[in-house]
Copies of this chain bind each other. A is one copy, B any other.
């Protein structure tokens, strides 16, 4: 790639920003010492960002600070966002991307506002019926893409088919060596299970399944999301949001109980192996929901995540652009129209 990967970063959004965003940038730079194939555009109050860059000793010609004096507040409602969030660091990121100066935008700020202004500024791709949020989820063999995670609480079969094409394009951009294997989340794996809408979506996916874009693996139940047999899990935004949050809650509940059960002695003896266990399942590694179906990808980092989690979402942006997500998506969407 001769053109540099250009990432627009809202430096002001989320808890403890811009401290955590700048620290995240620092960690990213330290991991990419050998690369100069990217540029990070940091949006926010120039003075504050420069002082934080100084504080964290970040000094690189791969960074550009672009002044935006306003910040989207956490209380801002999506309905009034278009009126109130012009010239904020979040808005300016998306605008920068629209003008072709960035390939992707990243923010840890207000989710609802980010979805609304991204959609308004970047516009939906012609071939897509609804944009949706995709997330990463650990599985036995690596990682899943799961979508929709909550952008659309009610979906029809065509939406789910679009999500399958978008999600498998994302998977391919992140893991170019691997083949996307799509499953529909359902209450059973037999063909007779589920709603009429799911049965129609399943039939369409069967017709679209091919070696080039994705292989359709049929229905999957909640307990097999992490089995690794499929790596692109498709569902409506209501179910996806509840499945994701239930998994998060369960993981937290178990690790908390584990901690209180282990006594000091066993903790000492288990320290290194528990560290390995924690590292593998560290939720920060899966930080970043990807908004797909617009004329450009937008990544939402968790608002409460720390600098390491923010680093992972910068890295996610880098990988997505490097993996040519948008041309993957266009290729996949042609598939729908050709059947």
Choose among B194, B254, B276 the residue that contacts A251 (Cβ–Cβ < 8 A).
Answer: B254
Q: Distance (Å) between the CB of A138 and the closest chain B CB? A: 8
| A35 located at the interface, meaning its Cβ lies under 8 Å from any Cβ of chain B in the complex | no
Residue from B187, B195, B268, B274 in contact with A262 in the complex, judged by beta carbons closer than 8 Å: B274
Given contacts A276-B261, A277-B262, contact A222 B243 (CB under 8 A): yes
For residue A120, CB closer than 8 A to chain B, the reply is no
In the complex, are the beta carbons of A261 and B273 less than 8 A apart? Answer: yes
Q: Are A277 and B257 in contact (CB under 8 A)?
A: yes
> What 0/1 pattern do residues 147 to 190 of A give for CB contact below 8 A with B?
00010011000000000000000000000000000000101000
| Residues of chain B with a CB closer than 8 A to A237's CB | 187
Question: A266 touches which one: B185, B244, B248, B269 (CB < 8 A)?
Answer: B269
Partner of A280 from the list B150, B261, B263, B274 (CB cut-off 8 Å) is B261
Q: How far is the CB of A83 from chain B (nearest CB, A)?
A: 18
| A273 engages B263 (CB within 8 Å) | yes
Chain B contacts for A241, CB-based, 8 A: 187, 221-222
The residue in A244, A270, A276 that gathers the most chain B C-beta atoms within 10 A of its C-beta is A270
In the complex, whether A327 has a CB less than 8 A from a CB of chain B is no
On whether the beta carbons of A266 and B270 are closer than 8 Å, the reply is yes
A223 CB–B CB distance under 8 Å: yes
Given contacts A249-B226, A263-B273, A266-B266, contact A150 B257 (CB under 8 A): no
CA distance A277 to B267 in the complex (A): 13
Interface presence of A28 (CB below 8 A): no
A254 to B262, CA, bound (A): 16
**A195/B238 in contact, CB under 8 A:** yes
User: Which 8 A-B pairs have CB atoms at the shortest separation, nearest pair first?
Assistant: A222-B245, A261-B277, A222-B246, A223-B249, A269-B269, A266-B270, A223-B245, A187-B241
Q: List 17 A-B contacts (CB under 8 A).
A: A140-B253, A150-B187, A153-B194, A221-B241, A221-B242, A222-B246, A223-B246, A223-B248, A239-B242, A242-B242, A247-B249, A250-B251, A254-B255, A262-B273, A266-B270, A266-B272, A269-B269
